[in-house]
């Protein structure tokens, strides 16, 4: 597709009166209208060659002759997305769990871990609107085949029905555990959900009730899909198994044992309908032929777990996978791309015995090792097949497309070779990248300020405050409000009695003092040494000596001890114990009672007897 690149971020010599003027680059725009019109004007029936226009050549002058993927269904290599178009991020960033193109392809819908829907423009990739759709993280989205409905599921097992204008019309409690995936039936009358309770449920869409439950997995069900034309459901679970179900009888038709770890994604191919793709945390993805009920391709190349995958909507042999470390790989199933020094495996269909032949190893046609910084959670193709959207745990949504004719430096950017190598080769500037990211964030902030308003969100009424002091209320008529009074304490500026205490204090205001525990006589206090010895035998820390308070405790001024208690020690105005001062008036620190007692006990054992 033809698109306009971002302009330069400040040309050299861009000064105005001694100050640097930053020139905001043009927003990248992918316009598919002209290429579609060009193809429709020059297309022919396929038996005549399908296209009579000029063939595309590797020169910038042939950008106007670019064709959509539908015009070259036999050349999937021309649709491999190798170029980064744009990175979109919200003002308040959250991990992007699901990305879905709207059925008409005008916008991209993203669902985040905060429960928000965000709409991005599908041509200019700018922000359009945001709304709070769920209270918790959204885990799955699916549009109906009729393009009239959208259903979403969250981490609490709640399913919501949405109209294309995002009007919520129904809320049902589908599961008690998180829902990981869902899919519509071919006629949109039912949909299936996969949950962490190890079960799949088939719901009647019109009634919003669960009709049947598919049970058979031994652990969490992580993925599910409904065949585009058949009554066939596939599910993948944490028990390493892929199961095929009959939705009419709730019977498990077969179990596929290809993977050795948790299944992360299962998806039927939409063009021909004969293949099933599965990915797992064993660093591989497999392609199954449902006619033979066995795996025919083994997709290798990932060094970490594969978190998601997606089929191309036009080319049935183009598959894209997202890795747990942020890599994005593209596979052509009819091109093995075997690395050097490795044996080329034979295709299952070409072997003498297809039922027993090992699966053919397929390696990626193109790699984007640094597509994202963290795991890619979701991938989705534009309905025309010219843009791939990816949502990642790094809280960024990125758009990818094929390179334009004549571009040769796209394989040397930071998404292919990394930031360090790209900076060394001069294809990426770290300072310019930060400036570009800052400009993009400013632009997204402006778009969000000018975007549509969620009518269901309550308006925030700001309180009048001092500038620069958030939360501090303004005084009425210029007079600050009086501070709240503490019960039992009278204010110095407010004459009158203090407010009463909420509870009586023994020994104050005529309340009799409480009796001493254990029958102690206040005129004949107990021996401190005996009390310390009893506490030491009980394993408790010894009490402070007489006329001394515990360390760190300073009595308030004019404190009067209750009857029967010794008077507190005298402290200087600075809070220093006068008994801890030497004769010269210098301040010294008295040892804590526990330290002194411990030292004596250690000396009785024969330790610490020599003077240093």
Task: Render pLDDT for 23-40 as a digit per residue (tens, 0 to 9).
Answer: 455 566 788 887 888 888
Q: Find residue 275's DSSP bridge partners.
A: 289
pLDDT confidence tier of residue 178, bands split at 50, 70 and 90: very high
Q: Tell whether the model's pLDDT for residue 57 goes beyond 60.
A: yes
pLDDT confidence tier of residue 574, bands split at 50, 70 and 90: very low
- At residue 471, the pLDDT reads 47
- At residue 567, the pLDDT reads 65
Q: Provide the 3-class DSSP secondary structure of residue 150.
A: strand
Distance between CA 491 and CA 496 in Å, rounded?
A: 9
CA distances from 11 to 8, 425, 433, 535 (A): 6, 21, 15, 80
- At residue 466, the pLDDT reads 46
Q: Which residue has the higher pLDDT, 135 or 63?
A: 135
- At residue 253, the pLDDT reads 94
- Given a contact cutoff of 8 angstroms between Cβ atoms, the answer to whether 117 and 111 are in contact is yes
pLDDT tens digit sequence for 203-217:
999 999 999 999 999
Phi, psi of 235 (to 5 degrees): -140, 145
pLDDT confidence tier of residue 446, bands split at 50, 70 and 90: low
Distance between CA 410 and CA 225 in Å, rounded?
A: 35
pLDDT (average), residues 563-592:
50
Of 137-141, 281-285, 489-493, minimum mean pLDDT range: 489-493
Residue with tokens 């391709």: 297
Q: Which residue has the higher pLDDT, 587 or 165?
A: 165
Of 159-173, 177-191, 510-524, 594-608, minimum mean pLDDT range: 510-524
Q: Tell whether the model's pLDDT for residue 529 goes beyond 50.
A: yes
Distance between CA 257 and CA 242 in Å, rounded?
A: 7
User: pLDDT above 90 covers what percent of the chain?
Assistant: 50
Q: Tell whether the model's pLDDT for residue 145 goes beyond 90.
A: yes
What is the pLDDT of the chain when averaged over all its residues? 80
pLDDT tens digit sequence for 414-438:
899 888 888 888 777 776 666 666 7
Distance between CA 238 and CA 263 in Å, rounded?
A: 6
pLDDT tens digit sequence for 107-130:
999 999 999 999 999 998 989 999
Q: Tell whether the model's pLDDT for residue 15 goes beyond 50.
A: no
pLDDT tens digit sequence for 379-427:
999 999 999 999 999 999 999 999 888 888 888 888 998 888 888 887 7
pLDDT tens digit sequence for 255-270:
999 899 999 999 999 9
- Given a contact cutoff of 8 angstroms between Cβ atoms, the answer to whether 329 and 342 are in contact is no
| Token pair recorded at residue 358 | 């090992």
Q: Which residue has the higher pLDDT, 169 or 598?
A: 169
Angle at 562 between CA 556 and CA 567, to 5 degrees: 65
pLDDT (average), residues 299-310:
95
Cα–chain center distance at 233: 28
pLDDT tens digit sequence for 86-107:
999 888 899 999 999 999 999 9
């Amino acid at each position: 597709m033809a698109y306009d690149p971002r302009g330069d971020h400040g040309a050299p010599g861009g000064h105005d009166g001694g100050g640097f003027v930053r020139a905001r680059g043009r927003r990248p725009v992918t316009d598919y209208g002209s290429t579609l019109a060009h193809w429709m004007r020059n297309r022919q029936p396929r038996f005549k060659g399908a296209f009579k226009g000029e063939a595309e050549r590797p020169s910038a002058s042939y950008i106007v002759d670019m064709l959509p993927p539908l015009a070259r269904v036999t050349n999937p290599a021309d649709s491999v997305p190798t170029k980064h178009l744009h990175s979109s991020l919200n003002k308040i960033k959250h991990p992007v769990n699901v990305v879905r193109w709207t059925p008409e392809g005008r916008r991209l819908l993203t669902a985040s871990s905060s429960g928000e829907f965000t709409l991005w423009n599908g041509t200019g990739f700018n922000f359009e609107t945001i709304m709070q759709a769920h209270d918790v993280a959204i885990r799955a989205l699916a549009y109906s085949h009729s393009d009239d409905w959208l259903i979403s599921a969250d981490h609490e097992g709640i399913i919501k029905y949405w109209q294309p204008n995002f009007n919520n019309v129904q809320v049902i409690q589908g599961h008690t555990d998180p829902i990981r995936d869902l899919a519509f039936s071919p006629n949109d009358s039912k949909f299936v959900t996969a949950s962490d309770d190890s079960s799949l449920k088939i719901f009647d869409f019109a009634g919003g009730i669960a009709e049947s439950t598919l049970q058979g997995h031994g652990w969490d069900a992580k993925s599910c899909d409904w065949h585009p034309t058949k009554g066939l459901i596939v599910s993948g679970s944490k028990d390493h198994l892929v199961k095929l179900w009959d939705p009419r009888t709730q019977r498990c038709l077969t179990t596929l044992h290809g993977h050795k770890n948790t299944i992360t994604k299962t998806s039927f191919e939409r063009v021909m309908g004969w293949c099933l793709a599965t990915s797992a945390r064993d660093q591989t993805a497999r392609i199954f032929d449902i006619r033979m009920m066995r795996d025919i391709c083994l997709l290798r190349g990932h060094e970490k777990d594969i978190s998601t995958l997606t089929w191309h909507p036009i080319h049935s042999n183009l598959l894209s996978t997202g890795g747990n470390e942020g890599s994005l790989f593209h596979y052509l199933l009819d091109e093995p791309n075997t690395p050097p020094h490795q044996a080329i495996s034979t295709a299952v269909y070409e072997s003498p015995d297809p039922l027993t032949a090992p699966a053919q190893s397929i390696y990626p046609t193109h790699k984007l090792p640094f597509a994202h910084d963290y795991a890619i959670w979701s991938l989705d193709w534009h309905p025309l097949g010219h843009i791939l959207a990816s949502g990642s745990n790094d809280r960024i949504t990125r758009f990818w497309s094929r390179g334009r004719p004549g571009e040769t430096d796209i394989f040397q950017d930071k998404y292919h070779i990394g930031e360090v190598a790209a900076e060394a080769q001069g294809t990426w500037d770290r300072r310019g990248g930060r400036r570009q990211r800052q400009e993009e964030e400013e632009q997204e902030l402006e778009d969000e300020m000018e975007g549509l308003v969620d009518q269901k969100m309550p308006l925030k009424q700001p309180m009048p405050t001092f500038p620069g002091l958030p939360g501090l209320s303004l005084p009425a008529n210029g007079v600050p409000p009086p501070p709240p009074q503490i019960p039992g304490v009278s204010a110095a500026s407010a004459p009158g009695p203090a407010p009463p205490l909420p509870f009586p204090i023994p020994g104050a205001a005529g309340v009799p003092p409480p009796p001493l525990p254990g029958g102690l006589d206040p005129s004949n206090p107990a021996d401190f040494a005996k009390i310390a010895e009893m506490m030491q035998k009980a394993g408790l820390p010894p009490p402070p000596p007489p006329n001394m308070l515990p360390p760190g405790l300073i009595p308030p001024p004019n404190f009067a001890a209750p009857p029967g208690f010794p008077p507190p020690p005298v402290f200087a105005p600075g809070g220093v114990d006068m008994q801890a001062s030497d004769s010269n008036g210098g301040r010294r620190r008295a040892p804590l009672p526990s330290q002194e007692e411990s030292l004596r006990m250690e000396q009785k054992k024969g330790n610490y007897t020599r003077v240093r």
